[in-house]
Amino acid sequence: MTAIAVVEGDGIGQEVIPVAQDILALLHQEYEFYAVAVGYGKWQKTGTACTTDDISLLRDADAILFGAVTTPPASDYRSVVLQIRKELDLYANLRPIQGEGVDIIVVRENTEGLYSGIEWQEEDRASTLRVITRKGSERIARTACQIARERKNHLTIGNKANVIKSDVFFRDICMDIADEEGVSYTTAFIDSLTLDVLMHPERYDVIVTTNIFGDILSDAAAYLVGGLGMLPSANIGNRHALFEPVHGSAPDIAGQGIANPVAAIRSAAMLLSHIGDTQGAALIDDALHLTAEAGITTPDTGGTASTKEVGDAVCAAVRRLME
């Protein structure tokens, strides 16, 4: 039996993830879903946002459907997302940006860089250590090359090698791996690359870059397809996989029933594809298109529908497509 760990998390995660879970359950009644509570809400109640037992529950799952967690500016709060990525070694963050005239996937290194988690504060300064390793760079480059070979066999390597020596290291490793894998490539400085992606998205296919640069680039590129409420992501390792919408917990709109569930639903489609049900993933994508064409969207994309109404419409479309 396929076991899916479901983490609603905080804020709008508690609204959009149940919608995505309902769609997965509609397609696969045989799946076992079990809840794992982590995040800021748990930290407020217990003093711990994510325990070793929680990690064990996530480790036991065939895949993880993850909502969003709030990270408060508290010195004694450890980022749950970073903890899970490191504990499960989810080294590849895949962020597809797809819409009219746009079909890009950002392949982001997911366990080191400025999100290394090595930080300290002194009286007059605070420091975060940016860690770029050969192992981390080689495996994310190989992942990006594998994806590129399945698409247009071309890779863009985003970097800041004109200023940062560790980016020279990362860029050169990616170039070597691309040569080894027979994938053509270009290199681009991340600041000008981000602007050019927004101006000329048709020029790009697969982009590989470091952790924080991939985070910023993909968030900015969300502009091309309707905002962060539209972007899914996958966090992939050799043994584990976690799927989550790119958006955060959005406490400013939490509880209002207006959060866009599309990113969570698309994350569920990526989950299905990862575990082998490409037909189910395609059904979800088709249902999303039908729902959008019918004008059933949340306020952030110009509609008037609630989170639940969008989810119900997508479920109804899935049922029609299954007939």
Question: Could you read off the pLDDT of 262-299 as tens digits, one per residue?
Answer: 999 999 999 999 999 999 999 999 999 999 999 999 99
Which residues is 147 bridged to in the sheet?
none
Q: Is 293 helix (H, G, I), strand (E, B) or coil?
A: helix
Question: Could you read off the pLDDT of 157-213 as tens digits, one per residue?
Answer: 999 999 999 999 999 999 999 999 999 999 999 999 999 999 999 999 999 999 999
Could you tell me the two tokens for 219?
């968030």
Mean pLDDT (whole number) for 250-260? 95
Could you tell me the two tokens for 88?
């499960």
Residue 299 CA: distances (Å) to CA of 10, 13, 210, 225: 21, 17, 33, 15
Count CB atoms within 10 A of the CB of residue 280.
22
The torsion angle over the Cα atoms of residues 148, 149, 152 and 155, rounded to 10 degrees, is: 40
Domains in the chain, CATH or no CATH each: 1-90+237-323 (3.40.718.10), 92-229 (3.40.718.10)
Note the Cα 126 to chain centre separation in Å: 28
Question: Could you read off the pLDDT of 43-71 as tens digits, one per residue?
Answer: 999 999 999 999 999 999 999 999 999 98
What pLDDT does residue 99 have? 92
Could you tell me the two tokens for 255?
């509880």
Question: Could you read off the pLDDT of 72-128 as tens digits, one per residue?
Answer: 877 778 889 989 999 999 999 999 999 999 999 999 999 999 988 888 889 999 999
Mean pLDDT (whole number) for 138-143? 98
Structure pTM? 0.93
